[in-house]
Amino acid sequence: MKFTTPLNLWAPGVQDAILNGTLRVQRGQWVRCGDGKLSRFVRSTGRSLWVAHWCGSGAATRERFMTLCAASK
């Protein structure tokens, strides 16, 4: 996966662009929700965004990301 600067999902227009397909985000790409810690993008359903947020440690966040990936298949 190519590194990209983390998107701020709370920036104006970003969520709408992802949901309507004009902005593509790769699974596992780092994103940010406001000023919080980095999160990992899982998927867009066209109506909602699945994102694994910080869970207190890198290992816990990765586990949550993997759980969401498995649930989205």
Tell me what pLDDT residue 65 has.
97
* Percentage of residues in the chain having pLDDT higher than 70: 99
In this prediction the pTM is: 0.90
| Per-residue pLDDT tens over the stretch 44-67 | 999 999 999 999 999 999 999 999
| Per-residue pLDDT tens over the stretch 4-14 | 789 999 999 99
Which amino acid belongs to residue 63?
E
Q: How far is CA 72 from CA 27, 63, 65, in A?
A: 11, 14, 11
Of 73, 70, 40, 34, the closest CA to residue 55 belongs to 40
| Average per-residue pLDDT for the chain | 93
Tokens 């694994």 identify what position? 52
Q: Where are the domains of the chain?
A: 7-71
